[in-house]
Amino acid sequence: MNAADRSGTGRPGVTDHPLEPRRPVGVKLVDVTKVYRGDVLAIDSVSLDVNPGEFVVLVGPSGCGKSTMLRMIAGLEVVSRGEIWIGDRNVTEVSPKDRDVAMVFQSYALFSHMNVEQNLAFGLRTRHTPREKAARLVGEVAESLGLSELIKRRPSALSGGQRQRVAMGRAMVRQPAVYLMDEPLSNLDAKLRTVVRTELARMHKRLGTTTIYVTHDQVEAMTLGERVVVIGFGSVQQVATPRAVFARPSNLFVAGFIGSPPMNFAEVTWDGSRASAGGHPLPVPPYVAKHLMAGRRAILGLRPGDLHMVDSQAGHEAVWTVRAEVVEDLGSSQHLVFALDAQRVLTDGLAATGAAAGDLFAPSEEALFTATLPAEPLVTPGEKMSLAFSTSHCHFFDVETSLVITAELDTSRGIPSSGDRGQSGTADTSYRPSAEASRRHKVQ
């Protein structure tokens, strides 16, 4: 007798024991596209493999299409082209109630006339779960989420954090094959967000259920995700572990979006024998020098935490003397903002514009760099100082393609070599649409 027969549920891997982990399943998107009326392209040929039991975070700026992608997996949006698989089932044409997924919404979506217990049990009642089993499931979920004392309260008598836990619990009691979470913490204050984030991580560790989580918050993406999928303007920009996305961004869009404070950018200039950025000397690796000598343009990317205050140039690869314009004292550290004699790089709208390289720069705005320094000694605005960095921490991007320049980059085609692989075994994806695609695209 198989597991489904023993459970009486008809679903593989589900047993009568409350909240017993199921056999995890994967989720696969194959060239999924979403086009709205008026030829508005929202999702552009996305392919993605989510491994069984994996916690994957879709992260991107507001309006990039990540929630649309999640709603298509849930069956709440019709797929224009492509296929969606959950486990070994093609669910592209399957109704939401038959996909065996549970979705947690940003707005909680609780029934105001029902108390906590009734909200938690609602999905079980609609599936005709035996009353005794439903009561056990609801009781265990309520206890695990700290809701036992609130079981008879209605949503109006709950705080925002308590309502969100009820929404999470309603998904948990169903024991779905996949959890889908659409910015579930965005309505919570900062302190409570940290608490609930920890609860989510513990829940996943305990149940091991495949989870796809949508957020625009980088902290949530970096702390929760086993892998992070960076979405920009309807397309996958990069898929990798949180550390890899931070340390090895595939293009300017990812580099400018991931990290707080964001990465610093300035165009690299070449005088025929050496490179500089914003009027400061810049040692560059041989492959970047070759790129510049070939007449191609490049942008330097440098994270704020990779700049260090020093007393002299001795023993350092690169030292810039700068003047502090703004100092942000955070108590445990300080952010020093200084200007460079260079145009500001416009990374925010990069993937949406499909524009000429010259449109990546703001002619009337100078580049501002930020350095994250220890709290002591405290810098004062107007003070001059020397900041050092290692070229091993520098990132270089091609102006024309926006892709990262590496020793393996085929500059004749402007794409990463086949050896540049992500964790999933497929190449990290970088996307820059044509001007025509950009005109058709509208963020959802």
Between strands 210-215 and 178-182, the pairing is: parallel
Mean pLDDT of 380-391: 94
What band does 337 get if pLDDT is binned at 50, 70 and 90? very high
Q: Output the pLDDT for position 250.
A: 92
154 C-beta neighbours (distance < 10 Å), count: 16
Least confident span in 233-242, 250-259, 347-356: 347-356
pLDDT tens for 98-109 read 999 998 887 778
Spatial neighbors of 42 by CB under 8 A, at least 6 apart, are: 34, 35, 36, 65, 68, 234, 441, 442, 443, 444
Please give the C-alpha separations between residue 412 and each of 285, 424, 426, in angstroms, as whole numbers: 19, 26, 22
**CATH number of the 252-415 domain:** 2.40.50.140
Q: Output the pLDDT for position 190.
A: 80
Least confident span in 95-104, 139-148, 426-435: 426-435
Q: Output the pLDDT for position 408.
A: 64
Q: Output the pLDDT for position 286.
A: 92
Decide if pLDDT at 215 tops 90: yes
Strands, E, within 93-250: which ranges? 101-104, 178-182, 210-215, 227-232, 235-240
Least confident span in 32-41, 179-188, 401-410: 401-410
Q: Output the pLDDT for position 353.
A: 36
pLDDT tens for 20-51 read 667 899 999 999 999 999 899 999 999 999 99
Task: State the DSSP H helix or E strand holding residue 173, giving kind and residue range, or none if neither.
Answer: helix 160-173
**Which of 192 and 380 is assigned the larger pLDDT?**
380
Domain definitions of the chain by residue range = 20-92+178-250+419-444, 101-175, 252-415
Q: Output the pLDDT for position 21.
A: 63
**Which of 336 and 18 is assigned the larger pLDDT?**
336
Distance CA 36, CA 32 (A): 13
Mean pLDDT of 119-145: 86
Least confident span in 116-120, 186-190, 316-320: 186-190
pLDDT averaged over every residue in the chain: 83
pLDDT tens for 168-182 read 888 888 889 999 999
Decide if pLDDT at 85 tops 80: yes
Decide if pLDDT at 412 tops 60: no
Q: What is the pTM of this model?
A: 0.81
Mean pLDDT of 394-418: 69
Q: Do domains 20-92+178-250+419-444 and 252-415 have the same CATH topology?
A: no
* CATH superfamily placement of domain 20-92+178-250+419-444: P-loop containing nucleotide triphosphate hydrolases (3.40.50.300)
